[in-house]
Amino acid sequence: MSRNKRDELIRNALKIFYRNGFNATGMDLVAKETGVSKTSIYKHFRTKDELILAVLRLRDEEFRNWLFRRMEELGETPAAQLLAMFDALEEWFLADGFQGCMFIKASAEFQNKDDAINRQSYAHKELLADHLARLAEAAGYEDPQELARQLLILKEGAIVLAAMSHAPAPASEAKAIALRLLN
């Protein structure tokens, strides 16, 4: 399988896992829906978990690139970008196919703290927190690390509630709380 075919497999598997969940998606379904034989899949990924990790790495890269770009486009200053995160989230919540956070789902399905999938999911959240801390520091906030953690908690809570309620309102509600934190 060429690098492009491998990348296409990961991209297609991402859609399947996002739609169905990880444990509920067997490799037979992945093979059927991607058009790639199980033999070919297993030549590149020794286990289903290895494929899931590749999917999570792709989702991490794509999501962070999208979110950080939208925050920059929606907010002119670092402080404005921190608030703009919630506007970007609302756009995501309103998008066709929104089904919550793949990393929250992965950590719920792979709860053992030593599981590579759980660790990969948490690493994504840590990268988001690091970016928020850099913005908070650039904006001159007193304790950028603590503020970043608080904003991350608001963000994650908004995602969970948006997915559960099938409504975008948690984004603006979290933004209102974030505004109080930032003031």
CA dihedral in degrees (102, 104, 110, 115; nearest 10)?
90
Q: What is the pTM of this model?
A: 0.94
Q: Give residue-wise pLDDT tens across range 95-113.
A: 999 999 999 999 999 999 9
Domain ranges of the chain: 56-182
DSSP string across 63-99? HHHHHHHHHHHH-SSHHHHHHHHHHHHHHHHHSTT--
pLDDT of residue 5: 86
CA distance 59 to 80: 25
Average pLDDT, the chain: 96
Q: What is the pLDDT of residues 64-85, one digit of tens each?
A: 999 999 999 999 999 999 999 9
Query: Residue 1's pLDDT is what?
Result: 55
Of 1.10.3720.10, 3.40.190.10, 1.10.357.10, 3.90.50.10, the CATH number of 56-182 is 1.10.357.10
Reported as a pLDDT band with limits 50, 70 and 90, residue 4 is: confident
